[in-house]
Amino acid sequence: MSESPQPYRVLARKYRPQNFADLIGQEAMVKTLANAIARDRLAHAFLLTGVRGVGKTSTARLIAKALNCIGPDGQGGPTIDPCGVCEPCRAIAEGRHIDVVEMDAASHTSVENVREIIEAVRYAAVTARYKIYIVDEVHMLSKSAFNALLKTLEEPPEHVKFLFATTEVSKVPVTVLSRCQRFDLRRIPADRLAAHFGEVAKAEGAEIEGEALALIARAAEGSARDGLSILDQAIAHGGGAVTAEQVRAMLGLSDRGALRVLLGLLLAGDAPGALAQLKDQYDLGIEPSSLLRGLLDAVHGIARAKIGGGDDPADAEEERAAYADWAARLGHAAIHRLWQMLLKGLSEVQSAPAPFEAAEMALLRIIHAADLPDPGELAAKLARGEPVGPSGAGGPVAPSAGGSPGAAAGPAPPPAMPADFPSLVKMLEDKGRAHLAQQLHDYVGLVSYAPPALAVRPTKPLAASFARDLADALKGVTGAAWQVRLVEEEAQPTLRAQELSAEAAVRDSVLAAPVVKAAFAAFPDAELVGYDLEDRRSA
């Protein structure tokens, strides 16, 4: 009689790390543990934190194996390279070791559950070197449960080790954190994930495109478990051969070519075309939120191309060429405005009762924003004192050639921008903002002055609202919206310091004058109590 076939195991379980070498992306933690084991400096409690799927529970089990491994000959001690063949290693890997107890704090939150641990730790391990308690999602324990655990956690018996895992370390009481050696498991980089998934696919006998691997790695967001689950689904979806288009369809990602068409229509200001493209994608089953995320990805790609950043391996060659072309034609300000409007649109789509209509309005807002004047150009016109009005076929609206001299088709030109920082301070003082003018004069050093942008470095603590108050005051006196930044960068001396320095220099020049030096030589106890430079020049 033939044996029944083994039940299928999902990839996330089948390829769970069995030793520290299989634990990708956590080299710093492994090195620390290796040194601690080699020098016999093992903590009595470890806290493993990180996002889902980075290997917290797997790491806890590996630590349990490392501490209890006895080697193939039964004579080994704690090691960072557990053999995996001795009885403790195999029993821990299979979850059946009597001295390695796993508890899910999400379903065992009460103080009674913790009391069971407190009672049990008094007894020595049955067969293992250490009795180990692995508590998953430890932040779910109740406050009373944490309090009950504190004393045992601080002074456990020598044969007991605690291994805690959590995705929300901020919810763990600081009294518990201070009693644990903490390891922050990092998100796994997308390139490492893609390489790992490629090895898994090869081991499973599946053919998968490199671009598909990059898409899965990106969708995993640093989680090996999430990525393996997606890969499992992709292999089943593709029947063993996985393409990038299949992965996009499976994940509900918009077709990248269609996204580029939509982005081109947005940048061209073609409202009917953009809405029609949106409707086509929606009819194909693409969610509006997914579509806006795709546009955000594209704008991010353009921004990276603009600054010469590295290419994303998930981007096709034609995508990179399109991003480079747009990057050459769009300014930094336009790219950032587009990003902000798409981000706002995505937030609205996610919360709106009618997501499709919200997506339409978000795209229309982007198109109509193209009719607004560029902030940099607007600021330059304001600085030159030029009239600013709505744009049309004939350009900005100008005063009519006919009619009375006082009648104009547009608003009066705003006041010219101050030529420099001292002039700005003087303008504030003249316009009744003496308190702000005095603070600018005495307590800040100028970093940069490019109206309507101002960056200064405070020389003493200022009110939290200083930058906002100053921006409001400047808008009131100049008519332009100012950007005021307080920064910790190299700055000029304060205006007051400059004036004092200038006065000191003049005083020194007076004291250095021959007639003054002769006077002091004749009268050693004399003091310089005043001087008039005008009289000195006329003399």
Is the full-model pTM beyond 0.75?
A: no
Cα(70)–Cα(66) distance, rounded to whole angstroms?
A: 9
Q: Is residue 118 part of a domain?
A: yes
| Together in a domain, 326 and 352 | yes
| Together in a domain, 164 and 57 | yes
pLDDT at site 7? 74
Residue 227: domain span = 190-251
Residue 359 has pLDDT above 90, yes or no: yes
- Model confidence at 386, in pLDDT bands (50, 70, 90)? low
> Which of helix, strand or coil describes residue 227?
helix
| Tens digits of residue pLDDT in 438-491 | 889 999 999 988 888 899 999 888 887 888 888 888 888 888 888 888 888 888
| Together in a domain, 157 and 197 | no
pLDDT at site 1? 44
Region of 40 (left: φ > 0; alpha: ψ -120 to 50; beta: rest) is: left
Final residue belonging to a domain, choices 184, 213, 233: 184
Q: Is residue 493 part of a domain?
A: no
> Which of helix, strand or coil describes residue 488?
coil
Residue 389 has pLDDT above 90, yes or no: no
Mean pLDDT (whole number) for 224-238: 87
More confident residue, 151 or 520: 151
Q: Is residue 6 part of a domain?
A: no
At 96, which amino acid appears? Answer: R
Cα(261)–Cα(442) distance, rounded to whole angstroms?
A: 55
Q: Is residue 406 part of a domain?
A: no
Cα Rg of the chain (Å, integer): 35
Q: Is residue 496 part of a domain?
A: no
> Which of helix, strand or coil describes residue 446?
strand
The DSSP code sequence of 167-193 is S-GGGS-HHHHTTSEEEEPPPPPHHHH
Q: Is residue 396 part of a domain?
A: no
| Together in a domain, 287 and 306 | yes
| Together in a domain, 266 and 117 | no
Stretch among 307-311, 390-394, 413-417, 509-513 having the lowest mean pLDDT: 390-394
| Together in a domain, 202 and 329 | no
Q: Is residue 140 part of a domain?
A: yes
Final residue belonging to a domain, choices 184, 211, 231: 184
pLDDT at site 125? 87
Residue 202 has pLDDT above 50, yes or no: yes
Identify the CATH number of the domain in which residue 24 sits: 3.40.50.300
More confident residue, 382 or 204: 204
Residue 414 has pLDDT above 50, yes or no: no
Residue 463 CB-density burial (10 A; 0-12 exposed, 13-18 middle, 19+ buried): exposed
pLDDT at site 415? 54
Residue 253 has pLDDT above 80, yes or no: no
> Domain tally for the chain?
5
Residue 408 has pLDDT above 50, yes or no: no
- Model confidence at 493, in pLDDT bands (50, 70, 90)? very high
Cβ burial 332-342 (10 Å sphere, 16+ → b, else e): eebbebbbebb
Identify the CATH number of the domain in which residue 293 sits: 1.20.272.10
| Together in a domain, 88 and 179 | yes
| Together in a domain, 128 and 30 | yes
Final residue belonging to a domain, choices 166, 184, 202: 184
| Together in a domain, 35 and 172 | yes
| Tens digits of residue pLDDT in 13-68 | 888 888 888 888 888 888 888 898 888 888 899 999 988 888 888 899 999 999 99
pLDDT at site 316? 62
- Model confidence at 133, in pLDDT bands (50, 70, 90)? very high
| Together in a domain, 349 and 286 | yes
Q: List alpha helices for 409-513, DSSP H.
A: 421-430, 434-443, 466-478, 495-512
| Tens digits of residue pLDDT in 333-357 | 888 889 999 999 999 999 989 999 9
- Model confidence at 132, in pLDDT bands (50, 70, 90)? very high
Mean pLDDT (whole number) for 127-144: 91
Rounded to the nearest integer, the mean pLDDT of the chain is 82
| Together in a domain, 339 and 426 | no
- Residue closest to 56 by CA, chosen among 74, 79, 29: 29
- What is the crossing angle of helices 332-351 and 355-369, to 10°? 160
Q: Is residue 233 part of a domain?
A: yes
Cα(68)–Cα(134) distance, rounded to whole angstroms?
A: 14
pLDDT at site 379? 60
| Together in a domain, 197 and 60 | no
CA angle 423–425–430, rounded 5-degree value: 90
Mean pLDDT (whole number) for 179-202: 89
